[in-house]
Amino acid sequence: MSLQKSHYSIIDPNNMRKTMDLKLSHYHRVSPCFFDELNQRYKRVIFSTRTATIRIIDDYTWKLLGIGEIASIHPDIIDDLITIEILVPSNENELETIIARNETIRYQDDNLYLVVQPTAFCQLGCHYCGQEHTNKLMTEENQQRFLERARRQLETQKFRSLTIGWFGAEPLVGLSVMRSLTPKLQSMAASYGCSYNAKIVTNGLALTDKIATELVKDLSIDSIEITLDGTAEYHDKRRIQKSGLPSFDKIFANVKALVCRQDLDVQVNIRCNVDGENYESVSLLLQQLADEGIQDRIHFYVAPIHSWGNDAHTRSLSKEEFAAWEIQWFSEMIELGFNPKLLPNRNPIVCMAVQPHAELIDAYGNVFNCSEVSYVPTYGTPNEYAIAHLSGLPMPGQRERLGNFNQDVRQGKYSCSTCSMLPVCGGACPKSWLEGIEPCPSPKYNIEERLLLSYALSRLPNVYTP
Ligand code: SF4
Ligand code: SF4
């Protein structure tokens, strides 16, 4: 579709009319045309990725936009399209706008995000995991050094909040470290006028009623993410305990008990990792969760297996296959009463790698600005991604290697620089790009279907409002 410029007057915030050429923003996606029985009109759903906003537009207006006949469109519609940034000044360098906004937001971020791996051990031995697990627990000396490092960050007075992410290996194996560090971190945050919260990614095996209570009530954890790789038949072939025992029944019982607790204010996310071996089990797991009546108390999502410094991604579905299955799973979720997230939000900070102050500290005292590289033997000893060590030992990595991702995109190094999804994607994973693996998430491949689903649901009262 040709995108010609058009001449149109817009009203600036001071109600001053300015004359400006407008163009259809590069940062949009649009659904196929469909016939609306109610209005007897052909329509489309458009998605402005610059503002993560959708609009229903009749096909005739869409065609006018496409040929640059903007002056023929009703002024109210044009004003709205300008507001949601579907129409933008024709001389605007849009990539520069998005990168500049992302950079501003990442430097203005006043939350200090620190991820801690209290142990290098995990009870599970999943075939796709790239980590090497040992019995190492973070020592008291390294805990003390970590607290001092956190204090130095907070002393800069740049922050208004401190968020701790407990991550593994399996963090609950290092619960003693979490118990020891949390009150010190809480009181340190308070002494610098910062709020405190924490989240955890756990395999869920040790997440008993008692521990869940402690995590939420004593350790200020407000978000728990647990992985279930399908129903027992599938999950237990993949997420098997190192002892050889299955893990599904225990984890599922823990999840069920947790989400039924009325006294715990915590977000529970269930992640289902899929590849070519277990994708058929997603529907069965959805049904099992719905049979338990907990579908509206969890956020459920499916994630493709990716490379963890290994070849795990080679067993994955193709991007297109995954995207098609995901639409099927969304439909099933809607029918079963889940509340799936269909449309992505604006994503100015792609991940911790680009947060100037965010860090991950592993149980050995290595410091990283990425969550997927610690304990991975492929990255050598010392780990090529380690940017520091709590002891002060020099490490080979540099924060900028992943942290300069926005600059790399600005310079056209990766295809994100020409991708219309960039504002809502952010670039997905700087490390993957660096390693030559395209990390494009599923919305790139199925956003049109997501838009149609959103439209269909928006007409069903009390189900979903985009
Ligand atoms: S660079 Fe990739 S793997 Fe590392 S934290 Fe970011 S998204 Fe995760
Ligand atoms: S990671 Fe892929 S989908 Fe995301 S902005 Fe880059 S090219 Fe686009």
β-pairing verdict for 53-58 and 6-11: unpaired
Pick the closest to residue 218 from 259, 269, 192, 183 (CA basis): 183
**Would you say the CB of residue 431 lies under 6 angstroms from ligand 2?**
no
Residue 402 Cα: closest atom of ligand 1: 1
Confidence at residue 2, expressed as pLDDT on a 0 to 100 scale: 35
**Would you say the CB of residue 416 lies under 6 angstroms from ligand 2?**
yes
What tokens does 159 get? 């922050």
Confidence at residue 5, expressed as pLDDT on a 0 to 100 scale: 41
Pick the closest to residue 366 from 327, 409, 333, 395 (CA basis): 395
**Sequence ranges of the domains in the chain:** 6-92, 103-401+438-444
Confidence at residue 106, expressed as pLDDT on a 0 to 100 scale: 95
319 Cα to the center of ligand 2, angstroms: 12
Q: What is the mean pLDDT of each run of 10 residues along the chain (466 residues)?
A: 40 41 97 91 96 95 94 94 97 98 97 98 89 95 98 98 96 98 98 98 97 98 97 94 94 98 97 95 98 97 84 84 98 97 98 98 98 96 97 97 98 98 98 95 98 85 36
What tokens does 273 get? 């990792």
Residue closest by Cα to atom 6 of ligand 2 = 416
Domain spanning 103-401+438-444: which CATH class is it, in words?
alpha beta
pTM of model > 0.85: yes
- What is the number of the ligand closest to the CA of 413? 2
Residue 444 Cα: closest atom of ligand 2: 3
- CA separation for the pair 230, 252 (Å, rounded): 11
What tokens does 465 get? 């409002």
Which residues, including other chains, have CB under 8 Å from residue 317's CB and lie 6 or more apart?
274, 275, 276, 279, 304, 325
Reduce the DSSP state of residue 457 to 3 states and report it.
Answer: helix
Q: What is the dihedral of CA 256, 261, 262, 266, to 10 degrees?
A: -90
Pick the closest to residue 388 from 396, 400, 380 (CA basis): 396
- CA separation for the pair 385, 272 (Å, rounded): 27
Compute the C-alpha angle 387/358/182, nearest 5°: 110
- What is the number of the ligand closest to the CA of 439? 2
Cis amide linkage into residue 169, ω under 30° from 0: yes
CA atoms within 13 A on the CB side of 379: 25
Residue 405 Cα: closest atom of ligand 1: 1
Residue closest by Cα to atom 2 of ligand 1 = 429
Pick the closest to residue 361 from 146, 199, 177, 140 (CA basis): 146
- CA separation for the pair 137, 177 (Å, rounded): 8
Confidence at residue 9, expressed as pLDDT on a 0 to 100 scale: 41
405 Cα to the center of ligand 2, angstroms: 12
- CA separation for the pair 413, 104 (Å, rounded): 21
Give the C-alpha distances (Å, rounded to integers) separating 113 from 160, 162, 201, 237, 358.
11, 6, 15, 35, 5
167 Cα to the center of ligand 2, angstroms: 26
**Would you say the CB of residue 430 lies under 6 angstroms from ligand 2?**
no
For a pocket test of ligand 2, which of 440, 446, 447 has the largest count of ligand atoms closer than 8 A to its C-beta? 440
384 Cα to the center of ligand 1, angstroms: 15
Residues with CB under 6 A from ligand 1: 351-353, 370-372, 402, 429-432
Confidence at residue 39, expressed as pLDDT on a 0 to 100 scale: 83
Residue closest by Cα to atom 4 of ligand 1 = 370
Confidence at residue 466, expressed as pLDDT on a 0 to 100 scale: 33
**Would you say the CB of residue 95 lies under 6 angstroms from ligand 2?**
no
Sole residue written with tokens 């002060």: 392
118 Cα to the center of ligand 2, angstroms: 33
CA atoms within 13 A on the CB side of 135: 0
Residue 439 Cα: closest atom of ligand 2: 1
Residue closest by Cα to atom 5 of ligand 1 = 370
Residues 51 and 84: beta-carbon distance below 8 Å: yes
**Would you say the CB of residue 29 lies under 6 angstroms from ligand 2?**
no
- What is the number of the ligand closest to the CA of 430? 1
Measure the N-to-C terminal CA separation of the chain; round to a whole number of Å.
Answer: 27
Length of the chain in terms of residues written:
466
Amino acid at 388: A
**Would you say the CB of residue 425 lies under 6 angstroms from ligand 2?**
yes
Residues 345 and 101: beta-carbon distance below 8 Å: no
- CA separation for the pair 348, 114 (Å, rounded): 19
Confidence at residue 459, expressed as pLDDT on a 0 to 100 scale: 63
Confidence at residue 458, expressed as pLDDT on a 0 to 100 scale: 83
